[in-house]
Amino acid sequence: MAPGSAGAPQGWTGQVTERTLADGRPILYFDDARRAGPVHEAVDQRPLDGLPRAGEVRYDVLTGEWVTIAGHRMNRTFLPAAADCPLDPTRDPAHPSEVPDSDYDVVVFANQFPSFAPVAVESGVEAPPFGPADGPAYGHCDVVVFSSDHEASVVDLPAQRMRTVVEAWAQRTAAHSADPRIAQVFVFENRGQEIGVTLTHPHGQIYAYPFLPPRAGQLVEQARRHREATGGHLLADVLRAEQAAGRRVVLAGEHWTAYVPRAARWPVEVHLAPHRDVPDLAALDDAEKAELAVVYQELLRRVDRFHPGVDRVPYIAGWHQAPTGADRELGRLHLQLFSLLRAPGKLKYLAGSESGMGAWINDTTPERIADRLREVAS
């Protein structure tokens, strides 16, 4: 999309305007509805340096996993005062934020402290004694801000705004998937300081990885084994099995079904999957996007009601999407929404077994989780 241009896909009544921040990073404004005349013309006046640079990736020969080294993130913004929030709109030119305009609906921009970036630098570190060579942490890291209201929450957004958020997820997934150096696009939202949120303004992120992350690699390998053994598609077959059993299904719509996985790891966990086989958010049709906007907020409401007396449950909501290249046919879109709050005031810590050995132990049962998520339905 050319800078300053606007457009809207069929079925969505909003528009997108692309601008550039002072250091050259792109920023895109997603408006709920079309606006007459030029929009979002405020210019970023901050004296910023050039584009943020990538760190590097190093291969762990003991696990076969890539580890990203991003030392520049050590000094990133951490829980600033509300008056200094970098995600607020710039209403006072003397106190500019990451968003130059004085108001917005949804805004997406490249992270100032990225784990992955399209600008690489030489590491200057010795070559590994064996295994693949180190490389730049090439990729993309977007910040997706859901509202200009600092105190807002995704669960409380108006329906039209939530639909705009879904559109932003889909469009940015498509844009990053088109980069031939990207292997996986991960859309996610963190809420709550308990799980590491460093900015309380309602926002999510999008990571475009240059490699297949461990979780995605495991899903692909399991899907390959399932196809060789049965001829079926693992994620589609899991959905059908849960629908047939019904015991752990917590929500069923025309296009989406939510269920607690039978081997749930977290004290609160639910998966949401489309009925149609689609690889990613960009492949959803308008009816699926519209229902997703409603279903997603309903799941968040139920999570918030899960523990009596807790108003805002910390959670991570991540969209698992198909790889962009090889093995794409083995992937299938689905959401994993979970919380590490096992009881009011009590967190599930990843202690020795989970952190040290990756051997998970859940202190509740998936069936109890499903029962509670049905009990607290709207």
Residue 223: exposure state from Cβ atoms within 10 A (0-12, 13-18, ≥19) = buried
Active site residue 201: no
Q: Answer whether 44's CB lies under 8 Å from 21's CB.
A: yes
Q: Answer whether 376's CB lies under 8 Å from 306's CB.
A: yes
Q: Tell me the C-alpha distance between 250 and 256, whole Å.
A: 11
For residue 208, which phi and psi values (nearest 5 degrees)? -115, 110
Q: Answer whether 12's CB lies under 8 Å from 286's CB.
A: yes
Output Rg (C-alpha) for the chain, integer angstroms: 21
Per annotation, catalytic residue among 176, 203, 320, 334: 203
Q: Tell me the C-alpha distance between 79 and 164, whole Å.
A: 27
Strand 140-145 to 184-191 pairing:
unpaired
In 3D space, the residue among 12, 60, 22 whose CA is nearest the CA of residue 290 turns out to be 12
- What is the distance in angstroms between the CA of the first residue and the CA of the last residue of the chain? 40
Instruction: Point out the residues that are catalytic.
Output: 203
